[in-house]
Amino acid sequence: MADELVVDRDLTAVEMPLDIDAEVAPKGAARRWLGGLHPAYLLLIPVLAVVPWATAQVFPFGVSLATSILILSVFTMSLDLLLGYAGLPSFGHAAFLGLGAYATAILSVRLGISNLGIALLAAIGMASVGSLVLGLLALRTSGVYFLMLTLAFAQMLSAVAEKWTPVTGGTNGLPGVKSPELFGGIVVPRGIPYYWLTLVIAVICFYLMYRLIHSPFGRTLIGIHQNEARMRAIGYNTRLYKLGSFWIAGVFASIAGVMYTFFNQFISPDDIGFATSGTAVLMVLLGGEATLIGPILGTTAYVLLQNFLSSMFTGRWQLIMGALFVIFVLFVRGGILGIWTRVQTRRKRGSA
């Protein structure tokens, strides 16, 4: 009867990993200033800065591996803002990486401007327009329709990159991107200097996103993910918040795009296709969604495994990667970080 015609609201509730620590106000000025992060994590910065450099003799590819892990981590963290926090299944996130990447390449190759600041501004501008336009359209839908729209948008952008040859270089892409220049004309050459620059950018991005997820805005996104109907009932304009998260995620992805182009000194439509969007989703799930550490772990594991497996089993590494992914999705909910939290809880229970 009439009462039964009303949709069951509990269907919209989604299971999420819970971060109880995020619910206890941190003590101490340093932690408060860091947005709740333990100051000990700051020690990671010098470690990350020194290790690839110190071990360059033993692992000659260490620096470039570490650089691409950092860049892709910024990308996957930004995707996780949508996937894990706001609960928006975007399968076209490479579009925003692409906007940043092509903005950088076009500036450098076509206009001869390789300034990092200008590239970042251009990328953020492009990503803002792109994400707001797509967001306004796609956020009218949800679930699988949202997924399809983001996918279609990304395919459309990569088609533009492929066909608009005079500007984008078509299928050949844009080779010959110069090393980035900082304000004051200092050029950051490839290798270790560029790695350090990437580290600085990645740390800033991580810090900003970390603050974001502990802010009222970030908590609102989690609430929308959990139960959107209830969020509307308590006065949130949820679509506006989702649009905000879409914009922020797009901007961070475009920053990753800038760093990606300067790193490879080349961009082509292949780099921004579905493979990139799909792999990023994989990395997030592999590491553990709805955390920022998860995407970093997932990205690191993926990149290292890819390199290790592809040198051991040429041509067959994707098979192994696929199997691994199936195992993770089926049996390891919460990804690598999920395993860690479970071990921790068990140990706590054991000692109590």
Its sign, for the CA torsion 31, 220, 128, 96, is positive
Nearer to another protein, 134 or 224 (CB): 224
Whole-number Å distance between alpha carbons of 54 and 308: 21
Closer by beta carbon to another protein, 31 or else 178: 31
Torsion angle of C-alpha atoms 78, 290, 136, 273, degrees rounded to 10? 50
Q: Long-range pairs for 131-138 at CB < 8 Å and ≥24 separation? A: 131/96, 131/246, 131/247, 131/249, 131/250, 131/251, 132/243, 132/246, 132/247, 134/92, 134/95, 134/246, 135/242, 135/243, 135/246, 135/247, 135/250, 136/243, 138/246
d(CA 111, CA 132): 27
Q: Which is nearer to another protein, 273 or 288 (CB)?
A: 288
Q: Which is nearer to another protein, 234 or 330 (CB)?
A: 234
Closest CA to 92 of 181, 188, 33, 157: 157
Task: Provide, rounded to whole angstroms, the least separation between the CB of residue 213 and another protein.
Answer: 9
- Which residues partner with 181 through β-bridges? 115, 187
Q: Which is nearer to another protein, 82 or 154 (CB)?
A: 82
Specify the amino acid at residue 332: V
Q: What's the min distance (Å) between Cβ of 254 and another protein? A: 18
As measured in angstroms, the least distance from the Cβ of 330 to another protein is 21
Q: How far is the CB of 289 from another protein (least distance, A)?
A: 13
Applying CB under 8 A, which residues contact another protein? 1-6, 8-10, 13-18, 20, 23-26, 32, 35-36, 208, 211-212, 214-220, 222-223, 226-227, 229-238, 241, 244, 248
Of 104 and 254, which CB lies nearer to another protein in the complex structure?
Answer: 254
What are the φ and ψ backbone dihedral angles of 174, each rounded to 5 degrees?
-120, 95
In the complex, minimum distance from the CB of residue 143 to another protein, in angstroms, rounded to a whole number:
19
d(CA 274, CA 282): 12
For the bound state, the minimum distance from the C-beta of residue 12 to another protein, rounded and expressed in Å, comes to 9
* Lookup: tokens for 84: 């894990």
Three-class secondary structure of residue 42 per DSSP: helix
How far apart are CB 125 and another protein at their closest, in Å? 19
Give the nearer residue to another protein in terms of CB position, either 55 or 237. 237
